[in-house]
Structure 1
């Protein structure tokens, strides 16, 4: 089995990362890429109280179990399935269930900090960063968290002002310089998808030519 093409999608909360990842997965065709959302890799803190978990900073690199994420990426690169953790955003804890992710032709790593760690960046074949203005990103975050995560608008705004946007400016936005493809998260998804697919296909063609030369 050939090594899979690794794709990273980073950007602010509400920039459209998950939507782009889902559309990209559909465009790449069956059997579908292995999907590793960073949201599944928040560190588990069983010793923390509910109040501590409610006020924790989930937008800093330390909130992510980067070692487990990297281990899973490496396993998928070598053709081995992984058991991806599942995370309950209402309780801020991992559940006991896991999701089996099988290796394939593509692996998509998606999350605000997907381009933060150099050990992971060195593995990616295509790195994508979505730019977005703060007002649009906040509006999307409010809609998502209130509808699907049981949050109140006031709590979403507090978290945004306290950690989400400050951490974006400190840890996420600087990683845009590592992207191969920069896209506008407010643009139609078709335009974003075309830009990413163009880079992926070009990388695959280059790899195929190199492989033929080595044979």
Structure 2
């Protein structure tokens, strides 16, 4: 595929438990591999080093200072220029995880996702379209408890500590202020996948008609 115009950048932001990952996966499913690429803030955490369970519980990952925002910005600009980005996949501080090297190729549509993408002014300025995925706090917390328990083996007590001391304050300070200025607000309080599938399909049809036309 030859790019004959600047890639269209979509920023997708959402708090923990908003259903942003499911939204992203549905969205990406509507495109061919060479039509869209994804760059995630999660892969730009500054390594925190080996930590005990207690240290991990107390360490606040929900601060902009934990992200290498300048490398994040640099890689987005590289994709904008049509270049390939090579990046280590973040392993969520799991020393047993096998670290993959991600090959992120440029594409006509670039998805930039993460909690702080609207807070990082230089990154926000590059976004052509901003989508905010939101859910009520009780719904989001329930999803977080289930995810961290099943996927990461965290005790519920630790999840609740992080939620009340790190996650919720970060959402209110670094993401919520940008909610009303986004181009699209997706409220995801139900666990009905059909709603999200319909929304992402409508967005993808519009993008294919307006962004991918004439690219081959």
- With normalisation by structure 1, the TM-score equals 0.84
Query: CA–CA distance in 2 between the matches of 1:24 and 1:77?
Result: 20
Mapping of residues 130-149 of structure 1, within 5 Å: 130-149=133-152
Is the 8 Å Cα contact of residues 60 and 166 (structure 2) preserved in structure 1?
A: yes
**Deviation sequence 1:123-161 (CA, Å, 0-9, x none):** 111110012100110111111111112211111111101
What does residue 13 of structure 1 align with? 16
User: How far does residue 62 in structure 1 lie from its aligned partner after superposition?
Assistant: 1.2
CA shift in 2, pair 1:79/1:200, >3 Å: same
- Counterparts of 1:1-215 in structure 2, within 5 Å, are 1=3, 2-46=5-49, 49-50=51-52, 51-91=54-94, 97-186=100-189, 188-194=195-201, 196-197=203-204, 200=207, 204=211
2:13–2:133 CA contact under 8 A, matched in 1: yes
Deviation of 1:114 (Å): 2.1
Q: From the superposition, tell whether residues 44 and 73 of structure 1 become closer, same or farther in structure 2 (CA, over 3 Å).
A: same
SS in 2 for 1:28: coil
Residue-by-residue CA offset, 1:23-60 (whole Å, 9 max, x unaligned): 111112333522112111111134x7545444211111
Number of residue equivalences = 206
User: Contact 2:14–2:114 (CA<8 Å) still a contact in 1?
Assistant: yes
- CA distances 1:39-88 after superposition (whole Å, capped 9, x unpaired): 11111134x75454442111111111111111110000001111122122
Change in Cα spacing, 1:149 to 1:121, as seen in structure 2 (3 Å) is same
Give the aligned partner of residue 212 of structure 1: none
Provide, for residues 78-111 of structure 1, a one-character-per-residue CA deviation record: whole Å limited to 9, x for no partner: 0111112212225389975421111112111111
Residue aligned with 2:90, SS = strand
What 5-or-longer segments of structure 2 have no aligned partner?
A: none
Structure (1/2) with the larger helix percentage: 1
Secondary structure, aligned partner of 1:182: strand
Structure 1 outlier segments of 4+, above 6 Å:
92-95
Q: Which has the higher contact order (CA 8 A, sep 6+)?
A: 2
| Secondary structure of the structure 2 residue equivalent to 1:87 | coil
TM-score scaled by length of structure 2: 0.84
Deviations 1:10-35 (CA, angstroms, capped at 9, x unpaired):
01111111111111111123335221
